[in-house]
Amino acid sequence: MICERKIMDNITEEHLKQYEQYLKGEERSQATVEKYLRDIRKFRDYLNASDSGTFDKEQVLEYKQYLNEHYKTTSANSMLAAINSFFDYLGWTECKVRLFKIQRVQFCEPERELTEKDYERLIQTAERKGDVRMSMLLQTIGSTGIRISELRFITVESLETGRADIYNKGKSRVALLPTKLMKVLKKYCRKMGIGKGSIFITRNGKPMDRSNISKKMKELGREAGVDERKVFPHNFRHLFARTFYRIEKDVVRLMDLLGHSNINTTRIYTADTESQPRRQLSRMKLVFG
């Protein structure tokens, strides 16, 4: 089936604007909306470069192969999911393609694992620089496991109850705040004159932007001597999950704390490096050679 007559008439900005409104109506997060639109534009650029005039499922399959050759499988699947969603919206279901099959993650990559020592060095570096806000921010996401997009729900009021009511991705949940975190955040708020509302705000009183937070994290990583590949917002959520699971061994409770609806997602967060199971295998002492 030909999905559209001409490439230039194919995926227009008007289509994208309408699709953007559809995603917002579905209560997708802003980050998800931006990513889907970015992935669809990338697909459109690929089609325009081919100058084929029309596209059908064959071209989509070729793009799938292109993604497989140039991106990690998880990234390729993420882009294909965006395109499939767009096709669903337009009614071009015949052009949808299957995602690549991925074996469940068993071990995390050691070069991307943020350790507790790395975490401590980042916080110490922020303190040494006098960037108390970043120190508080890192300790907040590190000790609660919340997403960067959920920081705005950490309010002065939540410090009184010890719980933050979070609404994200169309779901609501409660994030519990450790007693010590509440204490240091109250001290920070008094120092900064923050009397109500969100704690992590800019000078203009707006919630901190994800890109600026990521940039500041990378800068801290360089100054702290922590591999930049480890220093990105979501990795602090993984650190929280691994640390909690190592201490408590309660994956169901962890699933609740992270706000997951699928326990298999939570298991990915608890994945350790290969070094721990290797040590466990060695303790079996079943090789005599």
The span from the CA of 106 to the CA of 268, in Å, is 8
When comparing pLDDT for 248 and 85, which is higher?
85
Per-residue pLDDT, averaged over 217-242, amounts to: 93
**Amino acid 276: pLDDT:** 64
User: In the chain, pLDDT over 90 holds for what percent of residues?
Assistant: 52
- pLDDT tens for residues 30-52? 888 999 999 999 999 888 887 65
Q: What is the 3-state secondary structure (H, E, C) of 7-65?
A: CCCCCCHHHHHHHHHHHHHCCCCHHHHHHHHHHHHHHHHHHHHHCCCCEEHHHHHHHHH
Phi, psi of 166 (to 5 degrees): -110, 135
- pLDDT tens for residues 135-161? 999 999 999 999 998 999 999 999 999
For 215, half-sphere exposure in the C-beta direction (CA atoms, 13 angstrom radius) is: 5
Name the CA dihedral angle for 245, 248, 253, 255, rounded to a multiple of 10 degrees.
0
The ranges assigned to domains in the chain are 8-95, 110-271
Q: Which residues contact 96 (CB under 8 A, 6 or more apart)?
A: 60, 84, 87, 88
Same fold, 8-95 and 110-271: no
- pLDDT tens for residues 156-214? 999 999 999 998 767 788 899 999 999 999 999 999 999 999 999 888 888 898 889 99
Q: Give, in words, the CATH class of 8-95.
A: mainly alpha
Closest CA to 141 of 228, 215, 240, 211: 240
The span from the CA of 4 to the CA of 92, in Å, is 9
- Inter-CA distances, 178 with 39, 71, 103, Å: 38, 39, 35
Instruction: Determine contact, residues 236/138, Cβ cutoff 8 Å.
Output: yes
The CATH homologous superfamily for domain 110-271 is Intergrase catalytic core (1.10.443.10)
pTM for this model (two decimals):
0.63
